[in-house]
Structure 1
């Protein structure tokens, strides 16, 4: 009777997932509709620049992201050039949020600058494209025309993501397929993890879309790419682990349903613990100040839980319905002997000969790699935001040659209306300020806003010093946009690293303690994962500096890399140690450690390759931050899979002996 109910449940699951998938696909295809393009949405919570952005709608024209068009002719601007700039001003007037001022000539007579105020909303990228196309269409020969400013930068980023999002997903599928084919050498079995991951992607995309559309969930540019990599990688990993356990149980049980029930009973705990570790670690981002970081946590956690739901329900049903033949040509039969001693069994016995020497030597290697991170430079300027030089950066450089350095991205200053005169005077008398615009009154008459053009380029240290000094000496004003926003972003990232990293470590430790019912093992595992992250960061910096030619690491990479590496990297240690605990319960500690490594080594290595390949595909993106996150996580996963998890952790477990399970007084059951 119980077996009959299981069969009925199996056949009920398949049509249920067919219906869910049919409903999810249309919703997932509309995920881009809820992506918010406003630059202010990603600003740090509670920062001055965020306050300025929030107050901006109270002024005529609302929240704007100006497009600055630079017209440059080295031999000097001609009457035809002036006529072209004036014609562009008239043509672009319908899409501007306010009247467009006449083109401003440079003092050397070689450049014109046209500033077009645009609404900072979901239409910004499209309107910036109109600015670029219109200004270039009728340019006289020899006149260089470039779009820069916030609108130009937004257009560059939008173009980069639009060109690469789908190709990255396609390449990810192809790479993962290749790894699975090499792993299983089966013409059929590799399809199941791919199908499950594809369905998980659709379900996750649909849930995120629905929450973004109807519940106000914030989805930023770039989140869909991270979501794709995370869901595809984790779903495939979980599928590999369940497949490996199911294959084992098929040798022990004559019926497929009983084999799957046993596989789920033994694999559910570590897989669920993995999903809990990753999703709770991601939700720690809710404590972040950065708008992007704060919003990424819930979006990514949704993806993890959707992947878990698919793998733990749809995949078992498919496997049971399809039967043993899906493993062809290596079909597991009831009563078959376990596989012969493999490579990981041999590795384990070599480690067991001198475990203390192995883990000390392993930590020395990690320490040497970590030392490379001590010389790491953090903080990319706008010129290196993309892997190629953005058009807006070229335009900004052109403006810097003919106008004050901060002309393309002035600092916005908001003060109470009665203080406007004194704030204006203080700004004009401040070192590092090249020009101050006339105050603009808010629609309610209570506030005043003015633009302060800095003498130095917006990304320079001199500009940062100027803004920090202005904030200190003019406390009655609030400073935002341009250099002020970059300062707040850097400060918020620093805050997020100090707050989120300890939270993630705490969450990971608690999940491991709950799963293993021990304290020493979780502490050692977390310590090795942190060491693995530090080593990967050092190795990645060497690659960034000497192979990729990046001058620095984006401020977001350290936190994102830590989050994905610790939350994901601990998974493989979790799968290993939970299996070791199970084996130790059947025999002695040493035998249990070696047996656990032998039976999990192959599948965890395959899972590590899949996850590394998945994140590695981010390396083809034109966005430097994404490339750096992809390279860092891939390096970290490979290092953790083939060195930390396979060598250092077993060595520590063997060296500590039964104390590995302290405070348990007896061996685990």
Structure 2
């Protein structure tokens, strides 16, 4: 690698111009990357509900109802006017109301009371609306303009529209705060006024190249868009700082700047690469999720850290050399105190901390797997938001409701009639819109309005629009989905299709719970393997992975003890991110300890290691925590907010365990570590030193 590094330092202009050009191109391409805000779009293509949706789109013009609109204080004629206005809104493909299931000309008192109460109650009309995919924002804005702020709308399409508009503004605000905090932390933890500027410039180049290169994926998820760049900054912050400090150390030994930089690159290569690779692999494990938000986030983050590593090893050396004089002239005293006293404090506490840690392993693991979960988008926006308040207003009057659409082979009206009766016998089914329910099997199709028929019968299938009294997710909803699927399968074995919000959420639950063990084991196994190869030790990878993985378990166990419900996507993603992003702290601590341990007794090695690594670990850990807490407190999107809180708390837990628990393990297992690590020879105390 020395020859490669020599080529880098001898071609500064080409490298500087090339990377700055790539960054500018990346910044330009970033606005062209499409962002997807719909969770159900990330279900695997072979999932039953995904296949059903695709088949329905091929057979029928109207999609699955995905919004509920309630207009209060209206008469039936006024409700019909509102229906027409909503139907005329851009992006709205269909609107269903009472007139679609009953003859609206007959007196309302003569209609079935349950059916009427599904659509019209206490002078409030409830419309079931279908909004086209990709047109949620314009449709929701248009509907809101029609009904006004005092009326309500909710549903998956509305949630997607709110996320599309709101997340963009929130991400910008979070990114600004995060960058300012990172800059402040760098000023506090470095000893040059120029160094923070160089580090931020390197990070900015890496982030812009990564953001622009996301165009190769055609689109990215809202999770990736919101968290990708700030996570890239937080986890790769240390690499440039470490290189600058190594360069300054080497410059004192070799006054030739280029030679000193090559020495610094050679000396820091192993530690930066091992830290970077474990982070990349932790993110890369997400690619093995079936639920495709995982691969989406994993690809972007793994690529981002890889690009950050390239920037550190290629761009940063020539940038540092180009600004070396400014670095030296802008030197100032350290704003941080010596951490020698902190090292002695930890030394006194570390053995009790190890005991507490060991006691906590089993309970935290069990509790982390015992949480209650939200799998879909129904609970993303809380009661403090406009969407949350609208949802509550509709549910207070009409109860929880969802619409499923079933499709069965056409032609056998007698079987369709039996199926309709069987579905009506399910208590949660409130109403059914189908050919046999609305028209009747005895009336020939040629006598009917073809526009009406086309909504219910295609060339190959008959369609049943089923309104159910159920939430979008939860145990009762999942039991209902199974019951309806079993009923459909009884009359049309393996030849039916069923779709809807609750159905997609059921499949989402089924898919992502199957991902949990696989993704975690891949992440743990891959990180373990990298540590095994880089550290050439059997014991150290076990200690490090156990330390950080326990921090993960404690982190995701906290909601269980608080009685809170967890968004499963946040839970699944944080398991890999926290391991990949914070195992660096443990690696840095371990490498310093083994280095010092070769020169001094284990007590002094522990104290000096803590004194040396605490500034670096605290900088990185605090930045990651603040980025997480910013995301957690500024985002109104439930998944992003919870992911942010997990990230903030998790990074602090990892930081605490590395500084207070890992030293105790190193001390207690000192001899075992030496025996199980290649080419490691610890310093041996003589009797006089022990006596002192």
TM-score (normalizing by structure 2) = 0.83
> Aligned residue for 2:108?
none
The alpha-carbon distance between structure 1 residues 627 and 560, as it changes in their structure 2 partners (threshold 3 A), is: same
Distance (whole Å) between structure 1 residues aligned to residue 154 and residue 586 of structure 2: 48
Q: Secondary structure at the match of 2:126?
A: strand
Structure 2 CA distance, aligned partners of 1:444 and 1:83?
27
Compute the displacement of 1:249 (Å). Answer: 2.4
Matched, 1:501 2:520: yes
Whether the 8 Å contact between 1:72 and 1:398 is mirrored in structure 2 is: no
Match of 1:128 in 2: 140
Distance 2:476 2:358 in 1: 41
Match of 2:128 in 1: 115
Aligned equivalents of 2:39 and 2:580: distance in 1? 29
Instruction: For residue 187 of structure 1, give the secondary structure of its aligned residue in structure 2.
Output: coil
Preserved CA contact (<8 Å) 2:347 2:606: no
- The answer to whether the 8 A contact 1:61-1:98 is kept is no
The change in CA–CA distance for 1:206 and 1:382 in structure 2 (over 3 A counts) is closer
- Alpha carbons of structure 1 residues 87 and 588: separation in structure 2 relative to 1, 3 Å: same
**Superposed displacement of residue 147, structure 1:** 2.0
Deviations 1:323-377 (A, max 9, x none): 1542555479xxxxxx9x9744444455556864442244447778778758743
Structure 2 residues not aligned, in runs of 5+ = 101-115, 436-453, 683-692
1:45–1:291 CA contact under 8 A, matched in 2? no
Match of 1:629 in 2: 643
CA distance in 1, matches of 2:679, 2:54: 60
**Equivalent residue for 2:236?**
235
**SS of 2:236's equivalent?**
helix
* Equivalent position SS for 2:566: coil
Q: Distance in 1 between matches of 2:22 and 2:86?
A: 51
In the other structure, the counterpart of 1:532 is 551
Contact 2:68–2:155 (Cα < 8 Å) also in 1: yes
Given candidates 156, 160, 183, the residue that maps to 2:162 is 156
2: CA distance between counterparts of 1:388 and 1:397? 8
> Aligned pair 1:194/2:200, yes or no?
yes
Q: 1:354 to 1:613 in 2, by over 3 A?
A: closer
2:93 partner SS: coil
For each residue in 1:473-514, what CA deviation from the matched residue of structure 2 results, as whole angstroms up to 9, or x when unmatched? Answer: 432333322222222222222112122111111111011101
What secondary structure does 2:308 align onto?
Answer: helix
How far apart are 1:431 and its partner, in Å? 3.1
Distance 1:579 1:299, change over 3 A: same
> Are the aligned partners of 1:124 and 1:151 in contact in 2 as well (CA < 8 Å)?
yes
Of residues 458-467 and 316-325 in structure 1, the stretch that sits farther from structure 2 once superposed is: 458-467
Deviation at 1:449, TM superposition (A): 3.0
Match status 1:212 vs 2:217 = yes
Name the CA distance, whole Å, in 1 between partners of 2:647 and 2:164.
24
User: Is 2:416 the counterpart of 1:410?
Assistant: no
| Number of the residue aligned with 2:686 | none
Q: How much does 1:424 deviate?
A: 3.3
Identify the residue that residue 386 of structure 1 maps to in structure 2.
381
Relative to 1, partners in 2 of residues 1:168 and 1:436: Cα closer, same or farther, differing over 3 Å?
same
Q: CA deviation at 1:583?
A: 4.1
The alpha-carbon deviation at position 185 of structure 1 amounts to: 5.7
Distance in 2 separating the partners of 1:452 and 1:374: 35
Deviation string 1:233-269 (CA, Å, 9 cap, x unpaired) is: 1232222222332333233322222222222112222
**Which deviations, in whole Å up to 9, do the C-alpha atoms of 1:575-610 show, x marking residues without a partner?**
222333444456676665554444322222212122
**1:375/1:222 Cα in 2 relative to 1: closer, same or farther (>3 Å)?**
closer
SS of residue in 2 equivalent to 1:431 = coil
Question: Counterpart of 2:255 in 1: which secondary structure?
Answer: coil
Which residue in 2 is equivalent to 1:255? 256
Change (3 A) 1:171 1:438: same
Whether the aligned pair in 2 keeps the contact of 1:240 and 1:607 (CA below 8 Å) is: no
Once residues 85 and 579 of structure 1 are traced to their aligned partners in structure 2, the CA distance between those partners, rounded to angstroms, is: 71
For 1:62 and 1:299, how far apart are their aligned partners in 2? 35
Q: SS of the residue aligned with 1:436?
A: strand
Question: Is residue 91 of structure 1 aligned with residue 103 of structure 2?
Answer: no
Give the Å deviation of 1:38: 5.0
Helix, strand or coil at the partner of 1:68:
strand
Q: What RMSD in Å do the two structures reach over aligned CA positions?
A: 3.3
Greater Rg over alpha carbons, structure: 2
Q: How do 1:244-393 residues align onto structure 2 when only pairs under 5 Å count? A: 244-323=245-324, 325-326=326-327, 330=331, 343-349=338-344, 356-364=351-359, 376-379=371-374, 384-393=379-388
Distance of aligned partners of 1:598 and 1:572 in 2 relative to their CA distance in 1, 3 Å threshold: same
Residue pair 2:382, 2:388 contacting (<8 A) in 1 also: no
Residue aligned with 1:599, SS? helix
Work out which of the residue numbers 512, 518, 529 in structure 1 matches 2:537: 518
Distance 1:178 1:450 in 2: 60
1:36-75 alignment to 2 at 5 Å? 36-37=36-37, 40-61=40-61, 63-64=63-64, 66-73=66-73
Whole-angstrom CA distance in 1 between matches of 2:191 and 2:77: 68
Alpha carbons 1:273, 1:511 under 8 Å: kept = yes
Q: How does 1:177-192 map to 2 (within 5 A)?
A: 177-184=183-190, 186-192=192-198
Q: Distance in 1 between matches of 2:127 and 2:479?
A: 28
SS at structure 2 position matched to 1:474: helix
Which residue of the other structure, out of 430, 437, 443, is the alignment partner of 2:433?
Answer: 437
In 2, Cα distance between equivalents of 1:176 and 1:97? 47
Distance change >3 Å, CA 96–CA 570, structure 1 → 2: same
Secondary structure of the structure 2 residue equivalent to 1:222: helix
- The 5-angstrom pairing of residues 597-616 of structure 1 reads 597-616=610-629
Aligned residues of 2:250 and 2:261 also touching (Cα < 8 A) = yes
Q: CA separation of 1:601/1:427 partners in 2, compared to 1, >3 Å: closer, same or farther?
A: same
Deviates more, 1:186-195 or 1:616-625: 186-195
2:8 pairs with 1:12 = no
Unpaired segments ≥5 residues, structure 1:
138-143, 333-338, 546-550
Distance 2:458 2:681 in 1: 70
Instruction: Please give the residue correspondences for 1:640-651 in structure 2 after superposition, counting only pairs within 5 Å.
Output: 640-641=654-655, 643-651=656-664
Report if the CA contact (8 A) 1:540-1:635 is conserved. Answer: no
In structure 2, do the counterparts of structure 1 residues 466 and 429 end up closer, same or farther at CA, with 3 Å as the change threshold?
A: same
Q: 1:329 to 1:539 in 2, by over 3 A?
A: farther
Assess, with a 3 A threshold, how the Cα gap between structure 1 residues 91 and 495 changes in structure 2: closer, same or farther. same
Pair 1:502–1:6, CA change in 2 (3 A): closer
Q: CA deviation at 1:110?
A: 1.8
**1:589–1:658: 8 Å Cα contact kept in structure 2?**
no
1:566 partner SS = helix
SS in 2 for 1:651: helix
Partner Cα separation in structure 2 for residue 404 and residue 207 of structure 1: 46
* Counterpart Cα distance in 2 of 1:361 and 1:274: 28
Q: How many angstroms apart in 2 are the aligned matches of 1:591 and 1:601?
A: 15
